[in-house]
Amino acid sequence: MKKISTFDLYPGMILDEDVLNYDRQVILSSGTALTDTLISRIELNGVLEVYIKEVDNEASATEEASKGNSAETTVNSPASTQPPQSENNADQLNKHATYADRIKSSPDFQKFKEDYDQITSGFKFKLNEMIDKNVEIDTKVLLQEPLQLISSSGSSSNTLDMLHNMRDYDDLTFAHSMNVALLNYVAAGWLNWSEADKELAMACGLLHDIGKLQVSHDILTKPGKLDNVEYKHIQQHPIFGYQLLKDRVDVHIMNSALMHHERYDGTGYPLKIKGTAIDRFARLTAISDVYDAMTAARCYRGPLCPFRVIEIFEDEGFDKYDVEYILSFLSNVGNTYVRNSCRLSDGREGEIIMLNKEKLSRPVVQCGYEYIDLSKHSDLRIEILL
Ligand SMILES: [Fe+2]
Ligand SMILES: [Fe+2]
């Protein structure tokens, strides 16, 4: 049995223990072989670590011997805790690079990355200072640089695209907070919130996980299984964050730290409140938070295709989120890629022409003279953006 961070999971691993959500309900049973979709479900439930069956020597030897015979065999080999090295996976990464490389080689992206790195480390320094020295939390100062980053990246679609491609580089807590801040700003714009509210949403994103810095390091890095008390401790990070920010910042920022793990249908934590009892800024932060976790690159692939992310949200149902916010968010994510080229799962290449309001993950794609409505072709999906 080996404890593995959700970030390091890859398809083919076998669960060695039930995966529970924060309400201690079983989401996946022990013995389940993980797939990309199941890994996303684990992330969606905010689970940080799971237990995976370890490879014994005999199994490793068999795996070694079978290398090169069949990609399928290697990926699905039981009890593997090493990333699959199949040709199939290398191909997947190369294919993925087509779209990503185009963006990453642009001067705009290089500039964005440079600014982003600098701003994120500055943010880390300022935040640590606020906690260690208990100095005043001046959100205006915190917001200055991320706002410049937003204005220099042009349109909201551009910001989203840049962020999506940053995912290969950095997935640290501070980068996560910066991403949620930028996503909140863009998402608030899509909802036509005022400039003041957009900036407030950005501050909510920047500080939403500040309580994590107070979760005991020993618990976060404990090699063995967490007991109930320890589990509850991690679950307290929204409360730690709230206490840290109380009376030092705007009430919506305090509430976003406290309520970003609450869910619209009452299945969240720590207060288990539902609907509009959850602060509207926290309802928005919850979406950006989950979206950022889901689009993270994994060791076996690049960032998920945005249409795949939309599909995962659709499969899970929208009950957990404010329906107006989630529909606005996902349709705008989809719209970012209308007119983009893509490759379908049957190998055909085409252009995304328009979204389907009923099924945002399945737009209409033009291949040559043919218009393919993916909502009517359940056997087809967008594999990658080109
Ligand atoms: Fe959190
Ligand atoms: Fe978060």
Instruction: Measure the CA–CA gap between 254 and 273, rounded to whole angstroms.
Output: 16
Measured distance between the N- and C-terminal CA atoms of the chain, rounded to whole angstroms: 40
Ligand 2 centroid to Cα of residue 24, in Å, is 20
pLDDT at 221 over 70: no
Q: Identify which has the larger pLDDT, 29 or 169.
A: 29
List, as ranges, residues with CB under 5 A of the ion ligand 1: 209
Which ligand does the CA of 184 lie closest to?
2
pLDDT, residue 23, reads 58
Name the pLDDT band for 124 (thresholds 50, 70, 90).
confident
Q: In the chain, count H helices and then E strands.
A: 16, 9
| Share above pLDDT 90 across residues of the chain, in percent, rounded to a whole number | 31
**What's the pTM?**
0.70
- Give how far the C-alpha of residue 53 lies from the chain's centroid of Cα atoms, to the nearest Å: 25
pLDDT at 76 over 60: no
Instruction: Measure the CA–CA gap between 22 and 236, rounded to whole angstroms.
Output: 11
Which ligand does the CA of 172 lie closest to?
2
Name the pLDDT band for 164 (thresholds 50, 70, 90).
low
Q: Beta strand 341-344 with 349-354: parallel, antiparallel or unpaired?
A: antiparallel
Which ligand does the CA of 269 lie closest to?
1
pLDDT, residue 97, reads 52
pLDDT, residue 162, reads 67
Ligand 1 centroid to Cα of residue 208, in Å, is 7
- Segment 284-312 shows an average pLDDT of 80
Which ligand does the CA of 238 lie closest to?
1
Q: What is the mean pLDDT of the chain?
A: 79
- Segment 355-372 shows an average pLDDT of 92
Instruction: Measure the CA–CA gap between 172 and 72, rounded to whole angstroms.
Output: 32
Name the pLDDT band for 172 (thresholds 50, 70, 90).
low
Which ligand does the CA of 235 lie closest to?
1
pLDDT, residue 269, reads 92
Fold for 103-304, please state it. Answer: Hypothetical protein af1432 (1.10.3210)
CATH number of this structure's domain 1-55 = 3.90.105.10
Q: Comparing C-alpha atoms, which of 248, 251, 212 is closest to residue 128?
A: 212
pLDDT, residue 35, reads 80
Which ligand does the CA of 239 lie closest to?
1
What residue spans define the domains of the chain?
Answer: 1-55, 103-304, 338-385
pLDDT at 24 over 80: no
Tally Cβ neighbours within 10 Å of residue 280.
18
pLDDT, residue 18, reads 87
From 51-60, 199-208, 284-293, 320-329, the region with the lowest mean pLDDT: 51-60
- Segment 167-187 shows an average pLDDT of 76
Ligand 2 centroid to Cα of residue 327, in Å, is 20
Ligand 1 centroid to Cα of residue 200, in Å, is 18
Distances (CA, A) of 131 to 208, 213, 322: 14, 9, 32
Ligand 2 centroid to Cα of residue 35, in Å, is 23
From 161-170, 260-269, 346-355, the region with the lowest mean pLDDT: 161-170
Pair 204, 184: CB distance under 8 Å: yes
User: Cβ-count burial of 218 within 10 angstroms (0-12 exposed, 13-18 middle, 19+ buried)?
Assistant: exposed
Ligand 2 centroid to Cα of residue 279, in Å, is 16
- Segment 150-179 shows an average pLDDT of 67
pLDDT, residue 297, reads 60
pLDDT, residue 171, reads 44
Name the pLDDT band for 22 (thresholds 50, 70, 90).
low
pLDDT, residue 98, reads 56
Instruction: Measure the CA–CA gap between 242 and 247, rounded to whole angstroms.
Output: 9
- Segment 111-137 shows an average pLDDT of 78
Which ligand does the CA of 237 lie closest to?
1
Most confidently modeled range among 55-64, 188-197, 226-235: 188-197
pLDDT at 216 over 80: no
Ligand 1 centroid to Cα of residue 261, in Å, is 6
Element (DSSP H or E) covering residue 351: strand 349-354
pLDDT at 301 over 80: no
- Segment 98-122 shows an average pLDDT of 75
Which ligand does the CA of 290 lie closest to?
2
pLDDT, residue 304, reads 75
- Segment 143-164 shows an average pLDDT of 73
